[in-house]
């Protein structure tokens, strides 16, 4: 097997101390593209192992969905001997990713500025936290939904009828994970020029605010706070969900040409010529009237067939499908966006690299599955590993919190 076929990030070694979602999602993406990921869990394990049902072989679907392509080790880092093992593993590492409560590494005597920067000058240390280390909310804990709330995302999601609603996917955690991937790769690229690693900070709060487009941009320019408008778009019309005879569909019409094609396909081309709908600004001003017109025209159609025709004509549209339908759809399969390996099934790899494609090589690790293997590779002898296990520094059986 050639080095390039192992993935674009082959040779990048990552020590992953993260739990829950943002950090593990980041390291899974790196692992999908060939980075070696060593996931180090605390004695009680990553809490998402318990976030179910469903479970399979004692592993929750939540944990399985974001922890493939990693080897698993469990260490008690609250003990000095455990931290010495971590430092040994960092000797050959390029990246450390962690999402401990801020101040934890410093309390343990292994903070970046105090220890890691000098001891490992090429190390890229990425910290994912809720709010950062300083400022009015510095050091506070953050989970996705709470940050969706305090960073404004919930306030722009929902309708006047239902009120503000949490976005149904953990968009802040996932967004922070994606931003962390980019940050790590930027630091790795810069290290090729400078020879030095650096500290990288990604917070859920900052990530959430960066996702407020176009609502933040609208407020900066107009001074008007956004309102709840349901499925509609604050800047584009028609951009909404409509009922048809067979299913709901979403129309995302971004320009006048697309609007003319839509009206013609719906059998009323003259609608596009009306002054109240002539431009996007006109359609936005008269959105309620336009939606009423389109709702009546769409009602008798087969939604799936209509969307197929509109897409072929260049009009962005789609039937509203549920998750099982999406994962079983022929285009999903064609795009390799469902992967299967043994008993593992998961979503596919969205980044398609022609020469160095990513791939799924390992299912999510069982708790502490690779501890002895990883420590042996780090130079520990069998007797040393036995002693670390006997003392509880290397944890091989999960310790449940009471």
Single out the residue of 276, 189, 209 nearest to residue 12, CA to CA. 189
Judge contact between 388 and 380, C-beta under 8 A: yes
Q: Which of 51, 82, 85 is nearest to 66 (CA)?
A: 51
Evaluated on CA atoms 194, 109, 180, 378, the torsion sign reads positive
Q: Are 19 and 41 in contact (CB under 8 A)?
A: yes
**CA dihedral (96, 97, 101, 103) positive or negative:** positive
Who's near 234: CB < 8 A, 6+ residues apart? 214, 215, 218, 226
Q: Whole-angstrom distance between the N-terminal and C-terminal Cα of the chain?
A: 47
Catalytic hit among 16, 46, 76, 173: 173
Under DSSP, is residue 127 helix (H, G, I), strand (E, B) or coil? strand
Q: Distance between CA atoms of 197 and 298, rounded to whole angstroms?
A: 57
3-state secondary structure (DSSP) of residue 26: helix
Given a contact cutoff of 8 angstroms between Cβ atoms, the answer to whether 378 and 88 are in contact is yes
SS3 category, 207: helix
Could you give the 3-state DSSP secondary structure of residue 388? Answer: helix
Q: How far apart are CA 256 and CA 259, in angstroms?
A: 5
Q: Is 50 a catalytic residue?
A: no
Which residues form the catalytic set? 173
């Amino acid at each position: 097997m050639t080095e390039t076929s192992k993935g674009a990030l082959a040779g990048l070694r990552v020590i992953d101390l993260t739990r829950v979602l943002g950090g593990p999602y980041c390291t899974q993406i790196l692992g999908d593209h060939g980075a070696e990921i060593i996931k180090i869990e605390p004695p009680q394990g990553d809490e998402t192992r318990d976030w179910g049902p469903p479970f399979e072989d004692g592993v929750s679907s939540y944990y399985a969905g974001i922890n493939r392509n990693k080897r698993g080790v469990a260490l008690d880092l609250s003990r000095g001997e455990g931290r010495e093992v971590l430092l040994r593993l960092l000797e050959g590492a390029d990246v450390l990713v962690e999402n401990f409560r801020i101040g934890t590494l410093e309390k343990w005597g292994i903070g970046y500025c105090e220890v890691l920067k000098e001891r490992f000058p090429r190390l890229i240390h990425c910290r994912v936290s809720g709010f950062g280390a300083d400022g009015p909310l510095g050091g506070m804990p953050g989970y996705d939904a709470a940050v969706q709330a305090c960073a404004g995302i919930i306030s722009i999601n929902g309708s006047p009828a239902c009120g503000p609603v949490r976005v149904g996917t953990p968009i802040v955690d996932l967004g922070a994970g994606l931003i962390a991937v980019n940050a790590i790769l930027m630091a790795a690229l810069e290290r090729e020029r400078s020879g030095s690693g650096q500290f990288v900070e990604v917070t859920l709060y900052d990530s959430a605010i960066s996702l407020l487009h176009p609502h933040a941009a609208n407020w900066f320019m107009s001074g008007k706070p956004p309102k709840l408008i349901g499925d509609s778009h604050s800047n584009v019309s028609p951009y909404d969900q409509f009922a048809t005879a067979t299913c709901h569909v979403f129309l995302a019409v971004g320009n006048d040409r697309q609007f003319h094609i839509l009206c013609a396909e719906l059998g009323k081309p003259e609608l596009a010529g009306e002054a109240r709908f002539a431009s996007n600004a006109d359609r936005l001003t008269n959105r309620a009237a336009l939606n009423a017109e389109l709702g009546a025209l769409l009602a008798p159609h087969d939604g799936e067939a209509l969307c197929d025709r509109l897409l072929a004509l260049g009009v962005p549209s789609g039937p509203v499908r549920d998750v099982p339908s999406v994962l079983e759809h022929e285009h999903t399969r064609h795009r390799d966006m469902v992967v299967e390996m043994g008993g593992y099934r998961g979503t596919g790899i969205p980044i398609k690299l022609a020469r160095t494609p990513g791939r799924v090589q390992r299912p999510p690790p069982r708790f502490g599955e690779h501890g002895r293997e990883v420590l042996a590779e780090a130079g520990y002898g069998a007797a040393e590993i036995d002693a670390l296990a006997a003392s509880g520094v290397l944890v091989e059986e999960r310790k449940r919190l009471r």
